[in-house]
Amino acid sequence: QAFQEENRVQDRLAMMGTLASGLAHEIRNPLGGIRAAAEMLQRELEGAEDQEYARIIVSEVDRLNQLITQLLDFAKPKKLKKTSVNINQILSELLILQHSAMQRRKIALRQEFDPSLPPVWGHEPSLKQAFLNLIKNALEAMEGGGTLRVATGYISDYRMQVGEGKPTPMAQVAIADTGAGIPEENLKSLFTPFFTTKPKGTGLGLMMTQRILKEHESQLRVASKVGEGTTFKVLLKLAL
């Protein structure tokens, strides 16, 4: 049953990706014109309220472009060229980029990196995208403030299946928030395409993250408790 559901999801993504490929050019041309006109209005308009309306138009056009890009990524998955990657450095860079967002939301950061963690085997741009999605999700879950914990560590005897196979050393990344948490009935749908509880969400971010990590033969786990927060844990192969 799980295999059939996975096939249905992949078929749906392929169909949406094919549709996006055909329409991307036709949609993006008028979107570019709308964005340019809205930016011009934003500069020319004098009233603060009118300027805000123009800013919203620009923001929504950017969101549509992002959705098209995500659909195209699903339609044409890239063959990843993997190398040795310093995961601590990737996470540090992403957290620096999100510093303003954390300040704006009054979110404290707990950064707990293992300095002796060996490099992982992966495609750096894809891993950056996957972890950026997880960090942004955590921040968006704490609109009223909170604490973001990002930790890395080393697991020496991980088994891909419980009780089976040879123990494999892995790197672990934990990204935890102190937000509202995810209701149990929503946990099963987190990685379903277009499922979202956010007013402006696309429902593709976590699905893309899961696909990237599958391409790295990695594990992604989530634990959440309503009223306490959510933790995503990623297990990555080491470059040994």
Query: For 140-175, what is each residue's pLDDT tens digit?
Result: 999 889 999 999 999 876 655 445 567 788 999 999
Same domain, residue pair 9 and 87: no
Lowest mean pLDDT of 4-8, 30-34, 107-111, 166-170, name the range.
Answer: 4-8
pLDDT, position 42:
87
Which tokens in the block code for residue 65? 């472009």
Selected residue with higher pLDDT from 19 and 69: 69
**Count of other CB atoms within 10 angstroms of residue 78:** 10
Question: Which pLDDT score is estimated for 162?
Answer: 46
CA distance 62 to 56: 10
Which tokens sit at 62? 């950017």
Clarify whether residues 141 and 232 are in a common domain. yes
| 88 and 66 fall within a common domain | no
Instruction: Give the end of a domain, one of 23, 40, 75.
Output: 75
User: Are 122 and 82 contacting, i.e. CB atoms less than 8 angstroms apart?
Assistant: yes
More confident residue, 184 or 63: 184
- Number of separate domains in the chain: 2
Name the residue type at position 238: L
CATH code, domain carrying 111: 3.30.565.10
Gap between the Cα atoms of 77 and 145, Å rounded: 36
Q: Supply the pLDDT for residue 11.
A: 65
Q: Are residues 137 and 206 in the same domain?
A: yes
> In this model, does residue 15 exceed pLDDT 70?
no
User: What CATH number has the domain bearing residue 41?
Assistant: 1.10.287.130
- The SS3 call for residue 108 is strand
Burial class (CB in 10 A: 0-12, 13-18, 19+), 88: buried
In contact, 105 and 139? CB cutoff 8 Å: yes
Measure the CA–CA gap between 123 and 230, rounded to whole angstroms. Answer: 26
61, 148: one domain? no
- For residues 187 and 226, give the distance between their C-alpha atoms in angstroms, rounded to a whole number: 11
Q: Looking at the structure, do residues 195 and 218 belong to the same domain, yes or no?
A: yes
SS3 172: strand
Mind listing the pLDDT tens digit for each residue in 126-139?
Answer: 899 899 999 999 99
Owning domain of residue 41: 2-75
**169 token code pair:** 């050393």
Same domain, 47 and 151: no
Whole-angstrom Cα distance, residue 189 to residue 194?
A: 10
Are 152 and 89 contained in the same domain?
yes
CB 159 within 8 A of CB 168: yes
Q: Are residues 132 and 67 in the same domain?
A: no
pLDDT in tens, 38-84: 999 988 888 888 888 888 898 888 878 877 776 676 666 667 789 99
> If you average pLDDT over residues 25-37, what whole number do you get?
85
Q: Are residues 22 and 97 in the same domain?
A: no
The last residue of a domain, from among 41, 75, 109: 75
CB 231 within 8 A of CB 174: yes
Q: What is the tens place of the pLDDT at every residue in 189-233?
A: 777 765 566 555 555 678 888 888 988 989 899 999 999 999 999
Task: Report the distance separating Cα 163 and Cα 211, nearest Å.
Answer: 25
Name the H helices within 76-197. Answer: 87-97, 99-105, 124-140, 184-187
Choosing from 75, 94, 126, the residue where a domain stops is 75
Same domain assignment for residues 157 and 105: yes
Instruction: Please tell me whether residues 194 and 89 are part of one structural domain.
Output: yes
Q: How confident is the model at residue 109 (pLDDT cuts 50, 70, 90)?
A: very high
